[in-house]
Amino acid sequence: MKNLLTIAGSDSSGGAGIQADIKTFSANGCYAMSVITSITAQNTVTVSGIEDISSEMIKAQLDAVFSDIEVDGVKIGMVSKIESILAIAERLEYYKPKLVVLDPVMVSTTKKRLLSEDAIDTLKKKLIPLSYLITPNIAEAEVLADMEIKNYDDVYKSCEKIFRLGSRYVLVKGGHSVEDGKCNDILFDGKEFFVFEGERINSKNTHGTGCTLSSAIAANLAKGESIKDAITKAKEYVTLAIKHSLNIGHGSGPTNHFFNYTEN
């Protein structure tokens, strides 16, 4: 069994963040560990509060895990401020994990900003170069590439610009937001583009899908899958998790990470 570490914020409603990552790792046959960067007061409707963990405690959590357990892969999610990013980058540079998947979480499903404006450049300079794969959605790709994305040609251009920031692979998610009827994700390896077609599912219960997809990709990569197979299988997993989503709360409900073991 592969040991995977998530570095992210805690979602008190259990649908996204650390909770979604742990569920995804477990559902995909991996052992899950965590480093919490922030605590959010969050439900399916809104994020009502955020309290950041100190950089010293983030480092202490990382040291505790890496000093004792072999880490086969790392997924990074919500890191809201400069100090947190610097702490993570410092310890990852020291421990040199085999695999880092970065999901640059900037805004929640409920439209709450989760990454401060002044931290964007630090994320670009410190975490992206450490990443094997970065998985921004369209809105995040616009920020990272410093451009507006209106169609798939723009998606390709954003991939190229983000790739130059230092990650080995770039996967821009959420094609449904630029062209109706399509739900494609675009992967760029510095030379070629690969299109991953997806099924558009009419469901309001999509809380945590971005976290879940990047975590599933990390799990597949840690288990030895190629980048393309890892993404394909992760998309299939997320699609089924949405199809069997849980109608919980009054807003955007969570996906069902354990659809193989539960019934709606």
Active site residues: 173, 206, 208-211
Euclidean distance between CA atoms 18 and 214, whole angstroms = 12
The answer to whether 235 and 198 are in contact (CB under 8 A) is yes
Q: What would the two tokens of residue 240 be? A: 């089924």
